[in-house]
Amino acid sequence: MESRAIDEPVPIPMDTEEPIPREPPKIHRLDESVVNRIAAGEVIQRPVSAIKELVENSIDAKSSSISVAIKDGGLKLIQVSDDGHGIRYEDLPILCERHTTSKLSAFEDLRCIKSMGFRGEALASMTYVGHVTVTTITEGELHGYRVSYRDGVMEHEPKACAAVKGTQIMVENLFYNMAARRKTLQNSADDYSKIVDLMSRFAVHHINISFSCRKHGAMRADVHTTATSSRLDAIRSVYGVSVARNLMEIEASDNDPSSSLFEMKGFISNADYAAKKITMVLFINDRLVECSALKRAIEIVYAATLPKASKPFVYMTIALPSENVDVNVHPTKREVSLLNQEVIIEKIQSVIESRLRSSNDARTFQEQTTEPSSSCYVSTSKEANLSPLPSGSKSQKVPVHKMVRTDSLDPAGRLHAYMQTKTSGNHEKSVSLTAVSQVALSHARSSVRQRRNPKDSADLTSIQELLDEVNSNCHSGLLDIVRHCTYIGMADDVFALLQHNTHLYLANVVNLSKELMYQQVLSRFGHFNAIQLSDPAPLKDLIMLALKEEDLDPASIENDDLKEKIAEVIFLLVLLQRQ
């Protein structure tokens, strides 16, 4: 009998066949057109990306005026015109080839780069996803040149043409060869709003350049600014007066080489500013970029100052040494990397926090004019008679800041406000009718006042004791505030903002309403209008419900017999009293 060593492996029978080994997939070089198309999709993500690249090229060309025209959100036409130095005739053949640029010649130049563009991929990418036409003229030339590009190369030789100073670049049929990308960008209104926002940000920062942005064929530009020397005037022109009047100027800097080197200037909104979405315009070394860490830090500071639904407006420009900024971290140059970024953000955050605290001593609230209620009704009726609304039309909602607040001391709802006195006819008859109506109104008013404020609250001693307890515990200061306060508005679902003299108060509306109803019931007990029920109320069942409601242990059934006897006795007493 054969023996097998302990360490010798035992063979396991396999029912399945062994898989046939496959060769690794072969690596091959992509076609150059595929590579260029992929790169173009990264650089030109949507029409606003192309606008940003073209406007930055115009800024690098030392332009003093930049005009943008858009059709169908940029998918059909993008036209950017400037009055810069133009493009030389000798450079037109390689203008739209990849990695052709006049901004740098060696990689080391990136350490001190100051221009907006440097990669030489923007125009080349546009030619791979659209039809590009360039018209340009340089200083001293008698005429300009126009040339079209497709897939990075010229379609024909440059043709002489009439041209104004500078360069005009047209991009037509963007993403015509990228069906999936084009389908996702069919909402042209959304893309155009992004373009307007981009041009607004450029106009706020580059105040020495005139900007214009409009839809193709439109007479009025959605963004139109002129060169100015004031940053605040540029913000007022772009974002409006309501934003500019609520801004504060801020500055921060650090000259310590061991920690950070930077200089920051800008404007931030004060506590009176309110918006539902944060607006942050950030430029680092004159580049329009985004910094999520800095944005989040600013939002944290404002969260302790503004209401929950309000977001700030921030314009900020930061200057750093070129060697401390890495601009080559994003295909569209939307982001940059900073040296000692955490330290810079922390110092900017502390400056904003101290500035907000020092400016939070006073806040401004809009207040409406106080007018008597009668004049309000009369003016409303006159306006209704002079300009009646057409049938089927809805009345327009009056803005909150234009509403008129009536005086709380003047009783509202007077009937004589609806009566119109005739100026012609029988004057004596109108006077007599007015006198009679005034007597009738005074009588009705006195009866209403007696019903609202009865002299005798009730015959029950317990009610009078409760009223005396309320009056003895009344706080004279709070009573004066509630009687003579002015309602401003609701701060949230519970608290309301009230003004008394020169002070503002937050009042808990829920607690005030409960106390008001309680005191109203006590003061008017026994004087409420009687309600006649069609069917008699089940008095005995109601008494049983009241007894069970006051029971400390509703689950116990030991005292049910006692409760029924008490309910029966009370029911009989009520019947005897009625008889």
Entry field: residues in the chain: 579
Q: What is the mean pLDDT of residues 299-306?
A: 82
Give the fold, CATH level 3, of 246-361.
Answer: Ribosomal Protein S5; domain 2 (3.30.230)
Over the stretch 178-203, which tens digit does the pLDDT of each residue have?
888 888 887 667 889 999 999 999 99
Question: In the chain, pLDDT over 70 holds for what percent of residues?
Answer: 71
CB-based burial label for 391 (10 Å; 0-12, 13-18, 19+): exposed
Q: Which residues contact 284 (CB under 8 A, 6 or more apart)?
A: 291, 317, 318, 320, 325, 336, 338
- Cα separation, 561 vs 569, in Å, equals 12
Backbone angles phi, psi at 66, to 5 degrees: -130, 125
- In the predicted model, is pLDDT for residue 149 greater than 60? yes
Question: Looking at the whole model, is its pTM more than 0.95?
Answer: no
- Whether the CB-CB separation of 332 and 126 falls below 8 Å is answered with no
Inter-axis angle of helices 560-578 and 539-550, to 10 degrees?
140
The pLDDT value given to residue 169? 94
**Closest residue by Cα to residue 252 from 260, 268, 261, 264:** 264
- Cα separation, 268 vs 248, in Å, equals 5
What ranges in 499-559 are assigned the alpha helix state H? 509-523, 539-550
Backbone angles phi, psi at 269, to 5 degrees: -80, 150
The pLDDT value given to residue 76? 92
The pLDDT value given to residue 209? 93
| pLDDT averaged over every residue in the chain | 78
Which residue has better confidence, 390 or 31?
31
Q: Which of 163-167, 360-364, 466-470 has the highest mean pLDDT?
A: 163-167
Q: What is the mean pLDDT of residues 171-179?
A: 89
Q: What is the mean pLDDT of residues 453-482?
A: 78
Over the stretch 116-129, which tens digit does the pLDDT of each residue have?
666 677 888 899 89
The C-alpha angle 100, 106, 108, rounded to 5 degrees, equals: 135
- Cα separation, 98 vs 121, in Å, equals 5
- Whether the CB-CB separation of 228 and 220 falls below 8 Å is answered with no
- Cα separation, 527 vs 454, in Å, equals 8
- In the predicted model, is pLDDT for residue 414 greater than 50? no
Which residue has better confidence, 393 or 545?
545
Over the stretch 345-398, which tens digit does the pLDDT of each residue have?
899 999 998 888 887 655 665 555 555 444 444 444 444 444 444 444 445 566
Q: What is the mean pLDDT of residues 533-561?
A: 73
> What architecture is the 32-223 domain classified under in CATH?
2-Layer Sandwich (3.30)
- C-alpha 568 chain-centroid distance: 65
Question: In the chain, pLDDT over 90 holds for what percent of residues?
Answer: 23
Q: What is the mean pLDDT of residues 430-436?
A: 57
| CATH 3.30.230.10, the chain: domain bounds | 246-361
- Cα separation, 579 vs 556, in Å, equals 36
The pLDDT value given to residue 395? 52
| CATH 3.30.565.10, the chain: domain bounds | 32-223
**What residues does 146 pair with on adjacent strands?**
135, 159
- In the predicted model, is pLDDT for residue 459 greater than 80? no
